[in-house]
Chain A
Amino acid sequence: MTETGIGAPVRRTEDKRFITGKGRYTDDINVPHQTYASFVLSPHAHATINGIDTKAAEAAPGIVAVFTGKDVAEAGIGGLICGWMIHNKDGSEMASGAHPALANDKVRYVGDHVAMVIGETLEQARAGAELIEVDYGVLDANVETGKAKDKSAPQIHDAAPGNAVYEWAIGDEAAVDAAFEAADHVTSLDIVNNRLVPNAMEPRAAIGDFDAGTGDFTLHTTSQNPHVARLILSAFIGLAPENKLRVIAPDVGGGFGSKIFVYAEETLCVWAAGKIERPIKWTSSRADAFLNDAHGRDHETRAELALDKNGKMLGLRVKTVANLGAYLSTFSSSVPTYLYATLLSGQYNLPAIFCEVDAVYTNTAPVDAYRGAGRPEACYVIERIVETAARELNLDPVELRRRNFVAEFPHETPVIMTYDIGDFGASLDKALDLADYDGFGKRKAASEANGKLRGIGFSTYIEACGIAPSAAVGSLGAGVGLWESAEIRVNPTGNVEVLTGSHSHGQGHETTFAQFTADRLGIPMDQVSIVHGDTDKVQFGMGTYGSRSGAVGMSAMSNAIDKVIAKATKLAAHLMEASEGDIVFENGSFSVKGTDKSLAFGEVSLAAYVAHNMPEGMEPGLKEGAFFDPANFTFPAGCHICEVEIDPETGTTEIANWVAVDDFGTIINPMIVEGQVHGGIAQGVGQALVEGAVYDKESGQLLTGSFMDYCMPRADNLPSFKLGFTETVCPSNPVGVKGCGEAGAIASPAAVMNAVTDALGVKDVPMPASPATVWQAIQSSTKQAAE
């Protein structure tokens, strides 16, 4: 391994601009003659719009234009879409209420967009928005996940009677019933996966621009997938043909799923820029981000696990209600179905699984993919119930897991996944070692001596990522394919541009991709530039989410690099008058076996562009592209162990120790991969201990609408983490990588809550296990013990 080769912890190329204040995020960009947009948001969770008076706003100083839902409808602009069709158990299609970019006759959550006010300055736009008078007819709000379908619950969309989006199921119900009949022991668990606000630190922003001369639109936006955004804005919303719409996602300050989706604001900035023939800039406030960025999770689940007397798992039955909010966001429907229930087998040999999911509308912000998307919810169900079962059976939770681990691959689960490779025992062993599991008893005794409660919790997780085979997701209802593209553009002088459809918003692609390409081509890393995030520069691509940039994006690069090397090898053979079979490409140079003849990579590229001496029939130039469509999902897996110490006086939970051992397949840059794990764990610990979006049950107001009320994990909520890796090389792509972006967030909530419940000796504590919640749990369990 060289200093910058595959596997080296190369320092990041992109850091230079970020540490010197020279990053270029959307809000850093200003376009000459730009105007500013401010949106009027609904203050009510549920109300009819009886009228909107815009006159005072239109007459206010500096107001350029005011638009309402009526204008958008009259212009024939399509509504925001959900791109994944889910079918009900009876085969019928899911119900989907219209989602106009500006509400027409009704608002459905606090923050729903009602009017767009465009001003010469931001202050003027905001002042104008204050002058819009909306006559609302306030309706009762329907907020609670578990009650959304109650007969008395207010009806949100005419198209979705009873507020049911779908009633979906997967697995073999009869087989599961039979397993429960035969069981010696059944463990059941009612758990809630709390609603989260993604809170990427960069708020969303957009600049829509229109060139009246050419008819071309440009959108600068905080997107994880600019091409997908363009496709949706063009083909589904109907703003402009794709060839007349350029979407640029420059530096993006974190996404975590929330920047996958197409929202009202960027849609309207593009559309209205065409109307007023001037650029329009909009930047979200944090307050608006809380209301409008698609939230995550929000499941209520009952799970039952059937086991025989030896602790062998026989069957799993799961019933989940998933809250999708007031409208279906871009990929929301897929999250509690194919991204969730298909992972309920965990790392275990579970012969039968049946899972039903009821998705419901409520008067809350749309819910969609948030780091892990469905898989953290699945991991939480299976890892919490396995740990609970172990306690009920008086078995070491490690032992119960071992008895049920899948050990042979490929392994087909009862919920349509085929695990291609893994070694679950290896990651567990390594984690136990790093966590000093044998010493836990001593540490627990020491905590007790100090008046503290100590607990340990495991999470042996698996997830499916690197999404995914296009045909497979198509058959499950996806409206798009999930391949990735790459183009390797070798310049005459031998340096290289890599054009990728993946998008980096913190993942360090400019480093990892350059490191990979440089290693493969045998050229210095600084001779490789990564181009991404601009539909005018990069061929079509599917973007970054689902931990897919390595497994899918880099695989496309790998295939394109193979094509470059193949062509260059042919040319080198011709130039050196050797046969192609005698050419060896190594360390950036083409040599003829058994001779001292060789040509450097740059000499061959120059020859390809000068083109004075080409082999018969070969075109000049050296540039190759590839589209990679994976044969399967990838399956990162591993073991997280969390040890907590709880102060029973205050209910405060401190994480005393964290070990994570992950199998991500081949690792290109371990420094970056470790960073991804750290960040994922922090988000999972956030969910488990401090975060939670709360709506008022009566009014539907978001009670946790700022960093003052919604607790973000801060440095002093977290420990330093001990990480380790095991490696089974992924057979489903040419790079051998599995993906690492979401694993931490998937594994960690279950590890924390298993540790907290272990410390307290209770079956369940709801997330977030805040000091007040933990203290309550302690009080009620002491009370129970006393009774």
Chain B
Amino acid sequence: MPTVSMTVNGKSVSGDVSANTLLVDFLRETLGMTGTHVGCDTSQCGACVVHVEGKAAKSCTRLAVQCEGAAVTTIEGLASGGDLHPMQEAFRDNHGLQCGFCTPGMIMAGVDLANRRGNKLDEDTIRNELDGNICRCTGYHNIVKAIAAGAAAMDK
């Protein structure tokens, strides 16, 4: 069994994995960090989105061993201390979640979107860029609002 080491939310971690262990299973099963979710088996839904080296990645589509030495951020690592990340705050403030299952992936994708496309995001940009994240509850209306507000707040 290979051992893999990486930094997750600023902490060094390591564990024994199989060669075919997915990053999401390493996070959920080995590390017990269950904030990252699995909603499909075809890399379509985005419930599993985390950041690897600061960029959004579907953790169901990456092997744990591919992330050897990488810095990974999950939903659990987004808030700093007691303060919510502005994107988390925006989801709450705009009712951007209902059952919460897609939410970690949506928030991580939203932060990534702001990082890539700037803090002033229009509705079309958000809707197009959100192609890799499925939500069954919200109809996206409030997610779009939340990401626009969160991105704007990240500027401050």
Contact = CB atoms under 8 A, between A and B. Distances in A.
Contacts of A287: 41
Contacts of B93: 11
Given A19-B107, A508-B98, A714-B130, A708 B136 contact: no
B79 interface: yes
Name the residue among A21, A199, A203 with the largest chain B CB count within 10 angstroms: A21
A199 B41 CA distance: 13
Interface stretch (A323-331, A433-441, A671-679): A671-679
B41 A285 contact: yes
Contact of B136 (A200, A681, A721): A200
B44 A708 contact: yes
Contacts of B107: 19
A46 B45 CA distance: 31
B33 A21 contact: yes
A12 B134 contact: no
Given A201-B135, A253-B101, A675-B95, A20 B39 contact: no
A506 B138 CA distance: 9
Interface string A4-44: 00000001101111111111110110000000000000000
A11 B41 contact: no
A682 B139 contact: yes
Given A286-B42, A715-B130, A716-B130, A199 B99 contact: no
Contacts of A285: 41
Nearest to B138: A679
A202 B40 CA distance: 9
Contact of B75 (A21, A200, A506, A683): A21
B127 A716 contact: yes
A720 interface: yes
Tell me if B's interface is mostly helix, strand, loop or mixed: loop
Contact of A707 (B40, B103, B127, B139): B40
Contacts, number: 171
B91 A15 contact: yes
Contacts of B22: none
Contacts of A14: 100
Interface in A502-523: 505-508
Interface stretch (B51-59, B63-71, B141-149): B141-149
A681 B139 contact: yes
Nearest to B104: A21
A251 B100 contact: yes
Contacts of B115: none
B33 to A, nearest CB: 7
A421 interface: no
Interface string B107-131: 1000000000000000100111011
Contacts of B79: 20
Given A21-B74, A200-B99, A708 B39 contact: no
Contacts of B99: 200-202, 251-254, 505-506
Nearest to A21: B35
Contact of B95 (A286, A671, A680, A683): A671
A254 B136 contact: yes
10 contacts: A12-B92, A123-B18, A201-B137, A202-B99, A674-B95, A675-B95, A678-B142, A680-B139, A682-B138, A714-B134
7 A-B pairs with least C-beta separation: A21-B35, A18-B100, A253-B101, A506-B99, A682-B139, A678-B139, A21-B75
